[in-house]
Amino acid sequence: MSDERRHKSHLFSQIDVSQTGFAAGPPASGANAEIVGILRDILAAQDRQNELLEELVNQVSSTQRQRANELGQWKQANPQLAKRCRSAAEALSKIQTEYLASLTREIGDNYETLLDGEFMLNEFVDRFGPRLAHLNGLLQVLSQLSSAHTPAGTPNST
């Protein structure tokens, strides 16, 4: 354990940042210069990360704006279809709610069997999973196509 403490003491050093520490005399230049260099490297790396994050945000937001504009143009070109998509999305949402109620009842009724038997769990997932996934995908598409039109300069929430 004493070797571990000695090893850790090499990793950490103490820096006095109070005003009295500077008044006592000039700091040892070798260790502090190394720390200052490391801190500058860390700062440069953080600056680079910030630049990359800004580029990423700009790329994502421009893609979203383009998608929102294209979707808005489609809705303007197909207003009746957009209204029908809204109606279909509302109806499908009710169907999805009923389907989820059925799914949760099935889980509640067969909890022990699903917990104990891998075969029964696989059967359950095969029975409900694909339909739920496809239903969610359809609902998402219909909802996006039927959402209220946003002006060209405004980001779309979908």
Q: Structural domain boundaries of the chain?
A: 2-146
Report the mean per-residue pLDDT for the chain: 82
What is this structure's pTM? Answer: 0.54
Tens of pLDDT, residue by residue over 60-102, are 999 999 988 999 899 999 999 999 999 999 999 999 999 999 9
67 by DSSP, 3-state: which? helix
Q: Are 61 and 155 in contact (CB under 8 A)?
A: yes
Q: Residue 27's pLDDT is what?
A: 53
Q: Are 155 and 65 in contact (CB under 8 A)?
A: yes
